Structure 1
């Protein structure tokens, strides 16, 4: 399989490295396309055996799969300035947030479109990607797409494309929510007099350990919370304050706002 990554930013580069790491394609069968000469030079040093070019210098793409890895805000620019015609048998895999399959099909007058929503842990091969496909894409074509997506972590096929807006809000944006909470915990540690690096160590290791407890236990989250929050203790005092300030409701509202924004990006 030959693959072209159109818009090789962090996610596009992450996908490319995963494909090569697991030898799903040969380096010579990978093409990366960016807008600036400086970015192209940098990428060429990272991918010395692959073909790197700028958007304005591409005349023809022979790839079996073209990955649309541009920001949704740049999609219209790509549509209006695409310097080559997408061939009938080429697959399009979009990892743009919010932009629906039908809009992509109409923009390029092309039927074979798969839409996916990965998240940033794909950089470590620990991401999760929700994806769905247009009508007319065969089972074998979907299996090939899934193999590629699984090289970056895990993937889940969704029958209903509407769910991708929720996936975008939940897992696509999700890492930022954790970083936000971790940052608040680190700052609280510093407020209590713990040196910054030491506060980071305590919080990051706590998060890591808590994740593994969740992942290796069949018990509910409520039970795991009760294990830590003894009656009249310190954890109970913190949880009481969180509840009084409606922290859980605030987080839920934030995630719903992200879903709303994902839907707006298709307008």
Structure 2
């Protein structure tokens, strides 16, 4: 990436996170450009990262090796169709817009090499995870560029098929909200057991953080970690049995299935 020139179409939160990650990795401000319709947002990103900002998308992508589409899915068709005349053959297009398929982008952009990505919101803290899928036109070097781009805000995992992005959306794209829901529920339950809201919240948050660190750093899987902290006839076992008796695993499977189904539905709706 030391000589790669990158242009961002849209300079919202996710783009700003990627720009910050790239700058932290040593990319020069001159290697990165961005466009955004909002004058205030352009000024903000320029002040934070020192890069050049443009109102015009066509100006922003001039000379870029990689064009990152970081606009709302509902705006992608119009943005792509307007951008098509300004793209150069072989310019890599990286999309981080949920629900927009490579086939739709090819229809709007022409035969550009395309990498479709599904990042998640912890990328804003550079703790994200992204699933990546590349079309056949993407070269080995361009795959490396896309991987390094998304790795600036977490980890990047390549997928064997584009259809797997629906599963990625269900597991990690929407996943942070599931954990937030569990945090809400545990905090509320702690209050009902007699703790103050502040104490219940701190206990829950630190437990979530500690458990995540243990799972990430451990050489065994989550099932084994759970077994190790579940003493026979103890308090943890009582809670786990209650979860399982009420269909916890089936509920999680059903919820992720609903998210994946909705992801596929959105791709069909937004791709027309």
| Same fold at TM > 0.5 | yes
TM-score (norm 1): 0.89
What is the rounded CA distance, in whole Å, between the counterparts of 1:219 and 1:92 in structure 2?
Answer: 38
Structure 2: unaligned runs, 5 residues or longer: none
TM-score (norm 2): 0.88
Give the secondary-structure state (helix, strand or coil) at the position aligned to 2:79.
helix
Q: Which moved more, 1:255-264 or 1:32-41?
A: 32-41
Match of 2:11 in 1: 8
Match of 2:28 in 1: 26
The answer to whether the 8 Å contact 1:86/1:110 transfers is: no
What is the rounded CA distance, in whole Å, between the counterparts of 1:141 and 1:59 in structure 2?
Answer: 19
Give the secondary-structure state (helix, strand or coil) at the position aligned to 2:111.
coil
Match of 2:154 in 1: 153
Q: Which moved more, 1:63-72 or 1:37-46?
A: 37-46
The answer to whether the 8 Å contact 2:54/2:60 transfers is: no
Per-residue CA distance 1:6-33 (angstroms, 9 max, x = gap): 122211111111111101x311221121
What is the rounded CA distance, in whole Å, between the counterparts of 1:5 and 1:260 in structure 2?
Answer: 29
Taking a change above 3 Å as real, the CA distance of residues 55 and 179 of structure 1, as seen in their structure-2 partners, is: farther
What is the rounded CA distance, in whole Å, between the counterparts of 1:32 and 1:252 in structure 2?
Answer: 39
Match of 1:171 in 2: 172
What is the rounded CA distance, in whole Å, between the counterparts of 2:102 and 2:79 in structure 1?
Answer: 16
Match of 2:213 in 1: 212
The answer to whether the 8 Å contact 1:60/1:84 transfers is: no
Match of 1:182 in 2: 183
1:222 correspondence with 2:220:
no
Give the secondary-structure state (helix, strand or coil) at the position aligned to 1:114.
strand
The alignment yields a C-alpha RMSD, in angstroms, of: 2.2
Taking a change above 3 Å as real, the CA distance of residues 149 and 233 of structure 1, as seen in their structure-2 partners, is: same
1:5 Cα shift? 0.7
Taking a change above 3 Å as real, the CA distance of residues 219 and 143 of structure 1, as seen in their structure-2 partners, is: closer
1:2 Cα shift? 1.5
1:103 Cα shift? 1.1
Give the secondary-structure state (helix, strand or coil) at the position aligned to 2:267.
coil
Match of 1:239 in 2: 240
1:36-185 counterparts in 2 under 5 A? 36-47=38-49, 49-55=50-56, 58=59, 61-82=62-83, 85-185=86-186
Give the secondary-structure state (helix, strand or coil) at the position aligned to 2:194.
coil
Per-residue CA distance 1:42-66 (angstroms, 9 max, x = gap): 223223x211122578586321111
Taking a change above 3 Å as real, the CA distance of residues 55 and 261 of structure 1, as seen in their structure-2 partners, is: farther
Taking a change above 3 Å as real, the CA distance of residues 67 and 59 of structure 1, as seen in their structure-2 partners, is: closer
